[in-house]
Amino acid sequence: MELTLLDLQNFPEPMRYCRQYSEGVAGLARKFSSVLSESPTIYALVPKGTDLSRASELERGGLVTTRASLDWLVSHILSLERKNGSGTFLVQDMWAVDKDTIPHKEVVETGILLHQDESYFWVGKGNFFPKRITEALRLPLSFVVLAAYSRFALNAMDVTKDCIIPERSFEGLLGQITEFYLSAYDQESFLLIAPRNST
């Protein structure tokens, strides 16, 4: 199955869909909400040949297998990392708080970040492997996945032994995001959201 990105810019449903998962949540989701107010470009990851009407039905599954969409996204993230040379892939667990995420610490290779009351999984320089990216996307407790790729190269040394990220580094991550990814189609695929100022 060949997948492609379909521009949903002329449909109102994608914006409504995105906003419902960004309002009232801090951190990456708040940044996402800010980007949505600036009319970003929203793409659907769907099989080649899917018509726009079907692609705009974001709550309805059956278009693509989860495995196919995940493989595509992992390949895409690796391509971005090769192009930029260094960066950070960040996934927010919108349901978890510190006590939920920390138990994962000893059993996963993917990095964990804690910022205020928010929990994240991340992949940074030297760790951009398919397994790490896939794990970061699968570990969140939240039903909906919100992720982003940032040109900011977060160093593991910047994170405390308790997984806390300093405010300056966190703001650096948010300030250099080039793409957001939000699960859709009954969590079987993703939307790719490109901020207006991304290059």
SS3 136: helix
Instruction: Choose the weakest-confidence range: 92-106, 118-132, 142-156, 162-176.
Output: 92-106
By percentage, how much of the chain surpasses pLDDT 70? 91
Could you tell me the two tokens for 197?
């100022």
Query: Structure pTM?
Result: 0.91
- Mean predicted confidence (pLDDT) in 68-80: 96
Summarize pLDDT for 158-168 with one digit per residue, the tens.
888 888 888 99
Token pair for residue 172?
């650096």
Any idea of the CA torsion for 15, 30, 141, 108, to the nearest 10 degrees? 120
3-state secondary structure at position 134: helix
Residue the block writes with tokens 């039903």: 143
Residues 117-130 have a mean pLDDT of 88
DSSP 17: H
Q: Compute the residue count for the chain.
A: 199
What does the pLDDT look like over 84-102, one tens digit per residue?
888 999 999 877 666 565 5
Phi, psi of 120 (to 5 degrees): -140, 155
The pair of structure tokens assigned to 170 is 């966190």
Secondary structure string (H, E, C) spanning 44-93: EEEECCCCHHHHCCCCCCCCCCHHHHHHHHHHHHHHHHHHHCCCEEEEEE
Average of per-residue pLDDT across 144-159? 90
Per-residue pLDDT, 107? 45
